[in-house]
Amino acid sequence: MSTPGAGARRSLLSVEDLHVSFVTEDGVLRAVDGVSFDLRAGEILAIVGESGSGKSVTAQTIMGLTRSTNARIEGSIDYSGRDLVTASEEDLQGIRGEEIAMIFQDPMTSLNPVYRVGRQIVEAIRAHRDEPDERARERTIELLDAVGIPDAKRRVDDYPHEYSGGMRQRAMIAMALALEPKVLIADEPSTALDVTIQAQILRLLEELNSERDLAVILITHDLGVVAEVADRVQVMYGGRIVESGTLDQIFYDPQHPYTWGLLGSLARPDRPRMRRLSQIKGQPPSLLAPPQGCHFRPRCPHAFDRCTEVPRLEARVGDSHADRCWLSVEQKRNLRVLESGDIGLEVPAA
Partner 1 sequence: MARFIARRLVGMVAVLFAISVIVFVIFNVIPGGDPAERIGGRNQTPALRAQITKDWGFDKSLPVQYVDMMKKIFTGSLISYQNQENVIDRIKQGVPITLSLAIGAAVIWMAFAMVFGYLSAVRAGAFTDRALTILSLVGISMPVFWLGAMLLYFFTFKWQIFPTGGYVGFTTDPVQWFTHLLLPWLTLAVLFIGFYSRVLRSNMLDVMNEDYVRTAKAKGLSERQVRVRHVLRNSMIPVITLFGLDFGAVIGGGAIITESIFSLNGVGQYTADSIVNVDLPPVMAVTLFGAFFIVFFNTLVDIAYAWLDPRIRLGTAAA
Binding site for partner 1 (CB under 8 A): 63, 65, 69, 89, 93-98, 101-102, 104, 106, 109-114, 120, 123-124, 127-128, 159, 161-162, 172, 175
Q: In the complex with partner 1, which residue's Cβ is closer, 69 or 196?
A: 69
The least distance separating partner 1 from the CB of residue 226, rounded to whole angstroms, comes to 23
The least distance separating partner 1 from the CB of residue 180, rounded to whole angstroms, comes to 13
The least distance separating partner 1 from the CB of residue 261, rounded to whole angstroms, comes to 30
Q: In the complex with partner 1, which residue's Cβ is closer, 52 or 107?
A: 107
Q: In the complex with partner 1, which residue's Cβ is closer, 118 or 257?
A: 118
Q: In the complex with partner 1, which residue's Cβ is closer, 38 or 159?
A: 159
Q: In the complex with partner 1, which residue's Cβ is closer, 114 or 338?
A: 114
Q: Mapped to the 3 state alphabet, what secondary structure does the chain carry?
A: CCCHHHHHCCEEEEEEEEEEEEEECCEEEEEEEEEEEEEECCCEEEEECCCCCCHHHHHHHHCCCCCCCCEEEEEEEEECCEECCCCCHHHHHHHECCCEEEECCCHHHHCCCCCCHHHHHHHHHHHHCCCCHHHHHHHHHHHHHHCCCCCHHHHCCCCHHHCCHHHHHHHHHHHHHCCCCCEEEEECCCCCCCHHHHHHHHHHHHHHHHHHCCEEEEEECCHHHHHHHCCEEEEEECCEEEEEEEHHHHHHCCCCHHHHHHHHCCCCCCCCCCCCCCCCCCCCCCCCCCCCCCCCHHHCCCCCHHHHCCCCCEEEEECCEEECCCCCHHHHHHHHHHCHHHHCCCCCCC
The least distance separating partner 1 from the CB of residue 124, rounded to whole angstroms, comes to 4
The least distance separating partner 1 from the CB of residue 15, rounded to whole angstroms, comes to 18
